[in-house]
Amino acid sequence: MEFKKNVKIKLAIPTASMPDIIFMLLIFFMVATVMRTYSGLKVKLPDADKIQKLDVSKRHITTIWVDKDQNIVMDDITVKDVKDLRNLAYLKRADDPQLVVTLKADRLAKMGLINKVHQELRKGSALNINYAATLGGF
């Protein structure tokens, strides 16, 4: 045979560009990270089949939690009176026209309250809403 065992090729993965690759990854994750997260309220979301992803980035999302004891929390603010939602929503909407309000309400929340939330959001011109739900038909 022509090939001999002692023809040894030095095998090494070039590591010179590794920092560049890591830098790129770093920048990607830095851009993708949104720091603020809110603890919200403990809710059991309803389930639905036709759920879709929100097509806006997390930056434009404001969350309203409504739990089964009729407590309302918007992002990090506890809303004492439903009517306060109007101003809060209005201010958020003024800051960010692309605002989407995600409603995370408990399955046992009453529609009376949810309807009031709807009305307040309308008056606060936050019109794009999204009902958070988990996948799973019934």
Partner 1 sequence: MLLGKKKEKDVEIPSASLADIVFLLLIFFLVTTSIDTEKGLDLVLPPPNDQEVKIPKKNIANLFINASGEAMLDNEIVEVSQISRIIKDKLFENPLLIVSLKTHKDSDYDVYIHVLDQLKKADSKRISLAEPDEE
Confirm or reject binding of residue 3 to partner 1 (CB under 8 A). no
| Helices 84-95, 111-123: inter-axial angle, 10-degree rounding | 50
Residues 92, 125: Cα–Cα separation, whole Å: 10
Tell me how far apart the alpha carbons of residues 10 and 17 are, in angstroms, rounded to a whole number. Answer: 19
Q: Does 130 bind partner 1 (CB under 8 A)?
A: yes
- Retrieve residue 138's tokens: 């019934």
Query: Does 9 engage in binding with partner 1 (CB under 8 A)?
Result: no
Residue 32 is encoded by which pair of tokens? 């993708």
Six-digit token string for 31: 């851009």
- Which range touches partner 1 (CB under 8 A), out of 5-13, 71-79, 91-99, 121-129? 121-129
Answer for which of 7, 9, 11, 35 binds partner 1 (CB under 8 A) is: 35
Q: Which region among 2-10, 75-83, 91-99, 114-122 touches partner 1 (by CB under 8 A)? A: 114-122
Give CA angle at 74 (118, 28), nearest 5°: 115
Nearer to partner 1 by Cβ, of 94 and 108: the residue is 108
Q: Which stretch binds partner 1 (CB under 8 A): 3-11, 70-78, 91-99, 123-131?
A: 123-131
Secondary structure of residue 48 in the 3-state scheme = strand
Between CA 129 and CA 126 the distance in angstroms is 8
- Per CB under 8 A, 102 contacts partner 1: yes
Residues that bind partner 1 (CB under 8 A): 18-19, 22-23, 25-26, 29-30, 32-33, 35, 37, 46-54, 58, 61, 66, 102-103, 105-112, 114-115, 118-119, 121-123, 125-135, 138
